[in-house]
Amino acid sequence: MKTKMMKRILGFLLSAVVLFSAFACFGCVKKGGEDVPNGTPVTIVSEGASDYVILYPQGADATIVRVAEQLRDAIKDKTGVTLQVLSVEKQRETDKEILIGEMEQRQVTLDVGKNVRSDDYTVKVVGSRVVIVGGNDTRTVSAVRKFVNEAVNTATGNTLTVQTGEFARLDGTYSVTELTFGGVDVSEFQIVYSAFREDFYRSSVEELQTRVRLLCGVRLKAVPSSAPAAEHEFLFGDCGRELSKGLTAADGQYSLSCDGKSVALAAYNSLASKWSVRNLLDEHLSLSSSGKLEVSLPVETVSRKAEIGKKLIDGADLRIMSSNVLFLNQNDGTTRAKLLKDIYMEYYPDVIGLQECDSGGHSLVVSGLSSYYSAACATVGTSSTKSHTPILYRADSCKLLNSGSYLFARQADGSKTKILSWAVFKHLATDKTFAVINVHCAIVTASIQEQYERQGKQVHSNDVEGAAWREDNSREILERFDQLKTAYGANLPVFIMGDMNATANAESIQMLDRRAELGNCIDLATVSKTTGKRSWHDLGKAPPAGNSIDHMFVTKDTVQVYTHYLNATPDALKSSDHCQLICEVAWK
């Protein structure tokens, strides 16, 4: 009897110990293998010694590496101790780490960062580790500096101590306060792309991530289809999940399948995929959204046409672009060609006039866009020589009626790039016939002057001989203009555009401006225009103040100009040394 009683007492005591331990660990965090209550002091530097190391993500941006080094320097200044600063893959995992940013090799950073939105940051002491995570690199830098100012700089002596728990936090503000898909918070979703088609769906994934981040700050994780499945997913391509298996799309279309929990999308090509996502986001998650937003997830599969390109301004009939591509037979040609094609498909003009389009431009851009654009004036006259001023047009928007291309009579000796191209189209949506003249006018560059000098020829000046050649070019432009009006009627709408290598006050441009029927789009635009900015610039750098040498003239009695825009986005500046000139117009 005594033995049984003793066992009961021991059992009760053991249960009490276990229960007490459970309550004691409520609100604790792990330190190594031990539970540590929030608020427990953690010593990073003690009496001039430390076992800690500062780690940043593998392949981190230079700004993150720099701020990690600044943290090291601040700790040294206050305590006299220099901590190592390393990329995470170079350090075996320990519990004595200061972790800057999210790292796949350190799960604790992913756990802390899961609920950090794009404009937020948090500094947490988890066990004995300091975890600093921002929603972007700028916020991460701010978080490190917060830690320096409020923890390191307030340290006394040669000891640095912090406490477990959240040390600091910054919350951003977002127009959408709550976003749910099928009643589930968007943060519960992961993006999954077909493991073997990452490049195919990259733009689509980025479109979705960017829109969600802008509106509500949630940073959606994207993983290959080889990653473990989650309950709620946005699937791109055949990801091996039941919902996406066998999902296909016809030319120019995309297919969408929903089961109430997840969404699967497949597209005919990468461009259709990108624009299908943008179409869907504009329909269900527009940039003007605010407050609480619920997106339903029906149980159905549908196929739709992908509407490519920015929408025209209200009232406009078509969009026209002039683009000097800067000879693509160069080392950076492939990279710049991709940027140019992305820009063209972003705006999706009805007609694009190219200049400085060498054989690299024809192979990388003209041929690269052949699924969406046809080319007029691809060669000079009836020869096989590639024209440097081809005219691209959307076959779904315009029908080519006639075209031609020839060298300007006056230009630098031996130059084969200063060309006038012309084309006549029928605008299919309105049955309107119109003409386009695309030009690259004469110029005397420093390299041409050096060539003349080497050949023992008279060295010409751009301000004298160059100006005279450009005036002759304008006479040829007006001759072609008159010929088109004679052939197709006095009321023919005509666009004259290109790199004219002269500003608006030059005589060669004034010759066009003085023509009664013509007007410069920069003067005629009624909704918006880009003024006071040079249209040419150093590659990758913003154009300085000045005046444009890229112009677009129209027959002002037949064309209403709404917008005149010089594209100076970062990608545009890297694509060429000229801004693309884009105008939106309507027929009068």
Tokens 């077909």 sit on residue: 194
Main-chain dihedrals φ then ψ at residue 566, nearest 5 degrees: -100, 115
The fold of the 176-305 domain, in CATH, is Chitobiase; domain 2 (3.30.379)
CATH code of the domain made up of 34-170: 3.30.379.10
Tokens 């009961």 sit on residue: 8
What does the pLDDT look like over 374-426, one tens digit per residue? 999 999 998 999 999 999 999 999 999 999 999 999 998 878 899 999 999 99
Report yes or no: 333 and 360 within 8 Å, Cβ to Cβ. yes
Confidence category of residue 550, pLDDT binned at 50, 70, 90: very high
pLDDT at 416: 87
Report yes or no: 130 and 144 within 8 Å, Cβ to Cβ. no
The CATH architecture assigned to 318-587 reads 4-Layer Sandwich (3.60)
Nearest to 216 by CA among 224, 204, 208: 208
- Mapping DSSP to helix (H, G, I), strand (E, B) and coil, where does residue 167 land? strand
pLDDT higher at 156 or 528: 528
What does the pLDDT look like over 115-161, one tens digit per residue? 899 999 999 999 999 999 999 999 999 999 999 999 999 998 889 99
**What's the rounded Cα separation, in Å, for the pair 571 and 234?**
28
What does the pLDDT look like over 321-371, one tens digit per residue? 999 999 999 999 999 999 999 999 999 999 999 999 999 999 999 999 999
Question: What percent of the chain lies above the pLDDT cut of 70?
Answer: 94
**Beta-carbon contacts of residue 401 (< 8 Å; ≥ 6 apart):** 424, 425, 426, 433
Confidence category of residue 240, pLDDT binned at 50, 70, 90: very high
446 alpha-carbon distance from chain centroid: 35
Query: Which two tokens mark 538?
Result: 């150093």
pLDDT at 25: 36
pLDDT at 457: 84
Nearest to 522 by CA among 551, 546, 502, 501: 551
**What's the rounded Cα separation, in Å, for the pair 508 and 511?**
5
Confidence category of residue 35, pLDDT binned at 50, 70, 90: low
Q: Where does residue 182 fall: left (phi above 0), alpha (psi -120 to 50 degrees), or beta otherwise?
A: left
Residue spans per domain, the chain: 34-170, 176-305, 318-587
Does residue 18 have a pLDDT over 50? no
Question: What percent of the chain lies above the pLDDT cut of 90?
Answer: 87
497 forms beta bridges with 438, 552
pLDDT at 24: 35
Domains 34-170 and 176-305 share a fold: yes
- Mean pLDDT score of the chain, rounded to an integer? 92
The pTM is what? Answer: 0.79
Does residue 22 have a pLDDT over 70? no
Report yes or no: 71 and 144 within 8 Å, Cβ to Cβ. yes
